[in-house]
Structure formats: C-alpha cells, structure tokens
Amino acid sequence: MDQVLYVRFQGTVRHPRGHFPGVFVLANELAARGKLTEDQHRFWRSNNDWYDSNYTNPTDVDPDVYNPEVHPGAVAWFKSSAVDLIKRVDGYLGLLAAHGVECCRLESSNPGRIIYEDENQIVVAPPGEPGGVRPE
C-alpha cells in the first residue's frame, strides 16, 4: 500500500511568529500592504475566490486550528491527490517571485501530527520545529 504524499509551498524566511508562512499567507500580505500591480491584484483576488469556492477553509470547521496558543506552528499541506488545487499554486509562485519572495515546495509522507483533515488537505502540528518544517 502506498503512503499518502503531502505537498506544501512555503516561504524560505521565518514569519515573525516563528513558522515558514505558506504561499497564500505571503500573497495575502503583499495584497494587504498594497504591493500588487492591478493585474496581480486581479489574479490574487480571482484565485483566492476560486480556492474559497472549491475547498474547505479549515477555520470554518475548527476556528482554533491555526490558533497559536492551541496549535502552535500549525500549517496546511495539500494531499498530492488534490491536483487541481496544487496546479493553481504556480500563479502564486510567479506573483511572489515578481516581488522577490522566495518559496520552496516540500513533500512528505509524515509532515506532523494531523489536527485537521478533509479530502484535499491536512493541517498539522509539525514535529520539532515550532511552526513549520524546515525547508531543505
């Protein structure tokens, strides 16, 4: 039996809270700071809306899933079977690269203790590292 493989896209610089933020957080921060061009903002908004419509936001199911006092360092990983969700990440990677934000792709069959799971993703409390898996 094959092990399930999980995929995560994250920045290479620790967030002030200690973890390596995912690409959605990084793009959202650029948008919030008004750093996106008009075209980039249109891409960001339409793709965030697409993700909101096509997969569950874990905080809608468990409002504390990312609460740093309840689950310090909790991060989300795609299931490798969520191909449609994963392939859209390329646009976010391009947007981030245009702003000099480096990202990496991680793959793991055991990224941490699962605290949330649905058909497309898991949220884990990572082993060891407070806040994320260290990029290679």
pLDDT value at 44 more than 60: yes
> What is the average pLDDT across 42-55?
95
Angle 22-47-132 from CA coordinates, rounded to 5°: 10
pLDDT value at 55 more than 80: yes
pLDDT value at 118 more than 90: yes
Q: What token pair was written down for 131? A: 């806040």
pTM here?
0.87
For residue 104, give Cα distances in angstroms to 11, 25, 136: 6, 14, 9
> What is the average pLDDT across 27-51?
97
